[in-house]
Amino acid sequence: MHRLEDVTPERELPTLSTSLTAATGELASAGVASPRVDAELLAAHVLGVPRSRLVGKSLTREQLGIFHDLVQKRALRVPLQHLMGTAPFYGLDLAVGPGVFIPRFETELLVEWALQQPATTVVDLCSGSGAIAVTIAARRADATVAAVERSEAALVWLRRNVAALAPQVRVVKGDIADPGVLAELNGTADLVLCNPPYVPEAAPVDVEVAEHDPREAVFAGPDGLALMPAVARTAARLLRPGGRLGIEHDDTHGETLPALLRATGDFDGIEDRRDLAGRPRFATARRVAN
């Protein structure tokens, strides 16, 4: 198997196809789950073109050096999104990097559900990069959206994405367990959404998650439910009667989270919803009148 540096002759540069083949082998040897796709995405990033436009392209010597460096970092399991500086989410490119959780495709299902709800006042708890808040605001011009986040590192990325993609979003620095956060909205929100940390502490995760996603944005106690009571309390405080709640959760929480929401007495119409692979993915509920 050839490594990328083995195919860089002194007099003649390798073709893009040869470089991609070498990069794919290097990434595969490092345990990267989708080596060919990642190699092509990195090449497209260096060339400044979509992945679909790679055919017929070639790398200059300078670009080849940049590509080689990026492939080596990816082989060390630095997240692809960190190397490219963005993560795709629901048709948007969100700025991401060290200190913020990289948004996943699964969360798009929660956003899809949310966009079907009649709502003009929306709150995104544990906002992180702002994936949920920014997407809702970008597609619902009539909505007033607030994004709550406590991490200083994550707030940098949240504010960057809001400024670039949805400047109407109100960014709130605060802990979702604080009863004073967004107190002015008590009993008025139409929709509360949350993608909190929910992975059980002992659960195995990919190297990229273990070494690069913020631990506090991933893990939540032995069962992954540590933050859910606070999410439920805050949602109950903010929502108007009939307002809707959507919470993403671990695939082991398909029964436990709905049971937790029922036990509060603040919600009815509780449903657990599955992802495209049929796994429990997020719970929804309706705020009952006091």
Amino acid in the structure at residue 37: V
> 200 among the known binding-site residues?
no
DSSP letters of 205-229? --HHHHHHS-GGGTB-TTTS-TTHH
The helix or strand, by DSSP H or E, that contains position 89, with its residue range, turns out to be: strand 86-89
N-to-C CA span, the chain:
67
185-223: string of b/e by CB count within 10 Å (b at 16+)?
Answer: beeebbbbbbbbbbbbeeeeeeebbeebbbeebbbbeeb
Q: How many angstroms separate the CA atoms of 164 and 207, rounded? A: 30
Rg (CA), the chain: 21
Residue found under tokens 């995405």 = 41
> 211 among the known binding-site residues?
no
Residues 209/218, Cβ–Cβ less than 8 Å: yes
250-282: string of b/e by CB count within 10 Å (b at 16+)?
Answer: bebbbebbbebbeeeebbeebebeebeeeebbb
Tell me the β-bridge partners of 98. Answer: none
Query: Phi, psi at residue 109, to the nearest 5°?
Result: -65, -40
> 79 among the known binding-site residues?
no
For the annotated catalytic residues, the residue numbers are 101, 195-196
> 196 among the known binding-site residues?
yes
The helix or strand, by DSSP H or E, that contains position 268, with its residue range, turns out to be: strand 267-274
Q: How many angstroms separate the CA atoms of 256 and 185, rounded? A: 28
Report the DSSP pairing between strands 239-248 and 280-287: antiparallel
> 195 among the known binding-site residues?
yes
Annotated binding site for S-adenosyl-L-methionine: 149, 195
Annotated binding site for substrate: 195-198
Annotated binding site: 149, 195-198
